[in-house]
Amino acid sequence: MNTSLATRLSRLAQYGFLGLLFGFIATPMLVIVVFSFDANRFPTIPWGGFSLEWHRAILDDAMIRDAFLNSVLVGLGTAMLSTLLGFAAAYIDFRYRFRLKLPFVLLVAVPPAVPATILGMAMLAFLSRIGLFGRLETVMACHVAIATSFAMAIIRLRLNDLSRDLEPAAWNLGASPAAALIHVVLPFCKPALVASFFLSAAVSFDEFLIAWFVGGVHETLPVRILNLLQGQVNPKINAIGTVVLVISVALVLIAQRFTGVRAGRRPKPEGE
């Protein structure tokens, strides 16, 4: 059967629009990546030839190395704590009924909805009053507050698929409540736990504003980039940008891989 001209045109327009959209989003990032390997000191056309000079330069810069290390530490800590707390919150929502459940879930879910500036300022004011301002752990604590709500959302989605009978069945077969949690609930949630670990790491790794507000002298990588930009245009920025981009995309892709693992595959029962 011939598709009509109108259908084909419409399809073409759809693909065209999609292509433009992706181009619009991806081009700036692509430009950064391309020019980070440019031998020229300033990003100009024509390209000055391939060079690893700027990548080498960021390795030699102690402040960038420190900032990178800080980001990794904060990211890992955030990932672990957020996943743990997110699981705890999701499990409480799954297992128990109590009167203040809605406020409880909202409390965990709400931080990302608060504008980061306000959150950053509020945390700055609060943390400096209790004398915790300007520490790496402080940055981590703030990131945990944000990332936990993502972790809870992912793990809750998975727990929704957990049959209500599965945990009681484990008790019935001799598992104490703790053993049932370890041997039944956790294995069932594993894909979601891995996904929320990497997503939390990505959230922390990318976060600038709060880290800038509460970090003090401890710079994370995004904070270092801004400070570099404020000085002068520095070709190292493109190289850092490339590294950050690669790490963030990798983290999100890994997270996707684990959240999406059920989407395509469906169990096919066989005949007896």
Partner 1 sequence: MKTPFIALDQLDKRYPDHHAVKSINLDIDAGEFIAIMGPSGCGKSTTLRLIAGLDEPTGGEIRIGGDSMRGVPAFQRNTPMVWQSLALFPFLTVAENVAFPLRMQKVGAAERRKRSLEWLDRLGLASMAERNIAQLSGGQRQRVAIARALVTEPSVLLLDEPLSALDAHLRVRMQTELSRLHRELGITFVYVTHAQSEAFALADRIVIMSEGHIQQVGRPQDVYRAPANAFVAEFMGMNNLVRGEVRSTRDGVLDIAGALGDFRVPSATPRPQGSKGDFVIAADRIALKPEADGEGLSGTVLGLEFVGSTQTVFVEIEGGAEFRVQKQQHEIEALNLVPGRKVKLSWNPEHAWLLPQAA
Footprint of partner 1 on this chain (CB under 8 A)? 163, 165-166, 168-177, 179-180, 183-184, 187-188, 190, 267-272
Give the whole-angstrom CA distance, residue 182 versus residue 155: 15
Show Cβ contacts of residue 265 under 8 Å, excluding neighbours closer than 6 positions.
Answer: none
76 or 175: whose CB is closer to partner 1?
Answer: 175
- Of the pair 110, 179, the CB lying nearest partner 1 is at 179
Distance CA 117, CA 265 (A): 42
Burial of 251 from C-beta contacts in 10 A (0-12 / 13-18 / 19+): buried
Give the nearest distance from C-beta 84 to partner 1 in angstroms. 20
CB of 267 to partner 1, least distance (A): 3
> What are the angstrom distances between the C-alpha of 86 and each of 102, 145, 209, 224?
16, 10, 23, 29
Cβ distance 143 to 131 under 8 Å? Answer: no
Given the complex with partner 1, which of 11 and 183 has the nearer CB atom? 183
- Closest distance of CB 104 from partner 1, Å: 21
- Residue 15 to residue 167: CA distance in whole angstroms: 47
Return d(Cα 166, Cα 168) in angstroms, integer.
6
Distance CA(34)–CA(236), nearest Å, equals 13
Residue number with CB closer to partner 1 (77 or 191): 191
Residues 216 and 133: beta-carbon distance below 8 Å: yes
Q: Least CB distance from residue 219 to partner 1, whole Å?
A: 42
Which structure tokens are listed for 165?
Answer: 């009978």
Nearer to partner 1, 124 or 185 (CB): 185
Residues whose CB falls within 8 Å of the CB of residue 146, separated by 6 or more in sequence, listed in order: 111, 112, 119, 203, 207, 210
Q: Nearest distance from residue 152's CB to partner 1, in Å?
A: 21
- To 10 degrees, the CA torsion angle through 24, 25, 27, 32? 150
For residue 57, what are its two tokens?
A: 């330069």
Nearer to partner 1 by Cβ, of 115 and 269: the residue is 269
The least distance separating partner 1 from the CB of residue 83, rounded to whole angstroms, comes to 18
CB of 211 to partner 1, least distance (A): 37
| Nearer CB in complex with partner 1: 114/186 | 186
**Closest approach of Cβ 178 to partner 1, in Å?**
10
Nearer to partner 1, 60 or 165 (CB): 165
Task: Give the Cα separation of 196 and 85 in Å (integer).
Answer: 11
